[in-house]
Structure 1
Amino acid sequence: MNKIKRLLQLGLSVLLMISLLFFTNGFGYADDHDVTVKKGDTLYSLSKKHNLTVQELKDFNGLKNNTIYIGQKLLLPGLTESEPMYAVVAGSFSKKDNATKQIANLKKKGIEATVITKVIYNKTYYCIQAGVFSKKVNAEKQKKLLRKNGITDAYIVTSKNLHVLDVHVGFTYSQLLQQFGKPVKTEDQLNIRSLYYNGEGAGVRVNFNMENGSVFGLQVYPEYLKLGSLPKEKSQVINVYGYPNDVKNVSCYESATCGQFIYQFNKHELIIQFDRDGKTVQYFDLSRLH
């Protein structure tokens, strides 16, 4: 078990992506984050502080004018998506039956948990996830509870929500442009906007709410971008995102077979498809799970 734990933690303490479920006994998805208006705050000062425009802040909160009052809570688009969360792991196993037994033992002690799969070097491991928290202090309490109940090797994994070039579901369209840059042209079809950067294919396709500009889906094609910071090969993908929750082979162009890494975390899913050479990234597809 210690060997598996080392594999899971090695170099992945921040980047390891673990999917999560909502539990009813005090842990689960992070709450929406907001800011409480204080004396001296204005929409302009708050927008500058949180890297937004005044109009974005108004649209996201349904404000008709620039008037705000002390004590008012304003939702900040993109903030929740980029803040770290803390998953508590209560053991990792190479056999699913052993993981299932661990789940049953924890439930007898009143501790809810679920099995999360990770694929490492083409081998599937089964991790016991016993809660995900938006506050580290709560994760520490859960870890302490597990250790009191005999899970002496319980540990915490820190991770952020899934992203592509630091763009998360929930960001605004203008925040996306800050990361990818201004395109040479755009094309709109329903609520999908295609962004062209070199005049050939669309480098980015973004699904967003036309009313408040909130991004809820993103497809990125490295072939049509000139961004060196975007991972373009499988080894780079693992360095950035860690090992996937699932690996699949799918049919792609010209009857070829292409591989996919699938990551799921905090109600979001990221699919990264590789070309038929097995290593070159074809596209990133980031969306919110329903």
Structure 2
Amino acid sequence: MKKFKRFMQVVLCTVLMGSVFLFGNGRAFAEDQYITIKKGDTLFSISKKYNISVEDLKEYNQLNSNKIIAGQTLIIPDFEQTKPIYVAVAGSFSKKSNADKRVSFLKKNKIEAIVVKKVINSKTYYRVQAGAFSSKSKVEKMIKKLKNNGIKDAFFLTEKPLHINGITLGSSFDQLVNKFGKPTKTEDDNNTSSLYYKNEGAGVRVTINPDNASIEQLQVYPEFLKTTSVPTEKNKILQAYGNPNEVKIVSCYESATCEQIIYQFNKNQLTVQIDRDGKTVQYLDLRKMK
């Protein structure tokens, strides 16, 4: 526990000094900048300089007004983690066998594709996904390629990486605290930290990857949070994240059954457990797919 506390102190200090942490593939994930306000600066001028909205600046810095003063420090958050991803869709089918046939056809034409299950209005559909791209121009090229190969119903969707309150796997602990607020108490156990905000339960449990200081698992319990930006009801989950990939009925407590709404994207999985009342969110769990 002491080792983890010292580790997190080093992480936070390093971020404050403007250092950049890297994944094994060399991609930066904790690129938040800390700037000092100069005379004449305004939130509007800073937002234009760093291509970020005034609202996001205020949220990340917990500002109640647009007033800032010279000498004040502001966080300029990095939104690389939540940039939209463009998904090429080569058809949607009610039968998996038809989706599989479409995938086989595409592979014969040297186009890689997979079948992704979606639950829409309690009905299961099988979507053929022919790639996910960070560039809109690239997904448009793929759609053109699909149509040239006879897939006339090809289209693309815009999706965001799976997140909880704007925090994705790969975000930093510092980014998490900026989004959820400073906890009243923290308990550490090896690389896992429990953050308390109100009542007796932990509102957030986060596991940090010691190799690169990034978040590798995140569990959130809305009942014990102060922030109201995390959905607390099933209908709000569906509004925030859209149609899930899977819905399961599981045993929860006192011989009761609960519903799990599961989202899968880019090798990550978000599981949302709904209480036995059928509407209240018990927890949200974000982790790598098994």
- Does the CA-based 8 Å contact 2:29-2:170 persist in structure 1? no
Counterparts in 2 of 1:46-57, with a 5 A limit?
Answer: 53-55=15-17, 57=19
**Structure 2 residue 235 is the aligned partner of structure 1 residue 219:** no
Residue 209 of structure 1 corresponds to: 209
Q: CA deviation at 1:211?
A: 6.3
Matches of 1:56 and 1:168, distance apart in 2: 21
Q: CA deviation at 1:200?
A: 1.1
Structure 1 alignment gaps of length 5 or more: 1-51, 63-72
Equivalent residue number for residue 273 of structure 2: 273
SS in 1 for 2:86: strand
The residue identity in structure 1 corresponding to 2:19 is L
TM-superposed CA distance for 1:173, in Å, is 0.4
5+ long unaligned stretches in structure 2: 1-13, 31-77
For 1:101-140, what per-residue CA distance to the aligned partner results, in whole angstroms no more than 9, with x for missing partners?
Answer: 2112222222221111100111100111111112111111
Aligned mates of 2:101, 2:210 — CA distance in 1: 48
- C-alpha spacing 1:212/1:103, structure 2 compared with 1 (3 Å): closer
**Structure 1 residue 98 displacement after superposition:** 1.5
Contact 1:57 1:76 in 2 (8 A): no
Q: How does 1:117-266 map to 2 (within 5 A)?
A: 117-210=117-210, 212-266=212-266
Q: Structure 1 stretch 197-206 or stretch 97-106: which is displaced more?
A: 97-106
Alignment-mate amino acid for residue 120 of structure 1: I
Equivalent AA in structure 2 for residue 85 of structure 1? I
- The Cα shift of 1:54 comes to 4.0
CA separation in 1, counterparts of 2:27 and 2:118? 37
How far residue 281 of structure 1 moved from its aligned partner, in angstroms, is 0.4
- The residue identity in structure 1 corresponding to 2:188 is D
Say which SS state the counterpart of residue 53 (structure 1) adopts: helix
Note the C-alpha offset of 1:227: 2.1
2:28 alignment partner, one of 71, 75, 81: 75
Q: AA paired with 1:238? A: L
More relative contact order, 1 or 2 (CA 8 Å, 6+ apart): 1
Is the 8 Å Cα contact of residues 274 and 283 (structure 2) preserved in structure 1? yes
TM-score (norm. length: structure 1)? 0.74
Judge conservation of contact 1:56–1:213 (CA < 8 Å) in 2: no
Deviations 1:119-172, CA, capped at 9 Å, x for gaps:
011110011111111211111111000111111121111111100000111111
Mean CA deviation greater in 234-243 or 92-101: 92-101
Residue 98 of structure 2: aligned partner:
98
CA contact (8 A) 2:162 2:268 kept: yes
Contact 1:103 1:113 in 2 (8 A): yes
Q: Distance in 2 between matches of 1:242 and 1:147?
A: 26
The two structures have a TM-score, normalised by structure 2, of 0.74
Instruction: Say whether the 8 Å CA contact 1:162–1:268 is kept in structure 2.
Output: yes
Specify the alignment match of 2:38 in structure 1. Answer: none
Distance (whole Å) between structure 2 residues aligned to residue 152 and residue 211 of structure 1:
46
State the Cα distance separating 1:75 from its structure 2 match.
Answer: 2.2
**Percent identity of equivalent pairs:** 53
- Tell me the CA shift for residue 179 of structure 1: 0.3
Alpha-carbon offset, residue 92 of structure 1: 0.5
**What is the number of equivalent residue pairs in this alignment?**
228
Counterpart secondary structure, 2:115: strand
1:170-205: per-residue Cα shift (whole Å, max 9, x none)?
A: 111010000000000000111110000014110100
Counterpart of 1:239 in structure 2: which amino acid? Q
Q: How far is 1:257 from its partner? A: 0.6
Q: Is the 8 A contact 1:117 1:127 kept in 2?
A: yes
How far apart, CA to CA, are the structure 2 residues paired with 1:239 and 1:287? 21
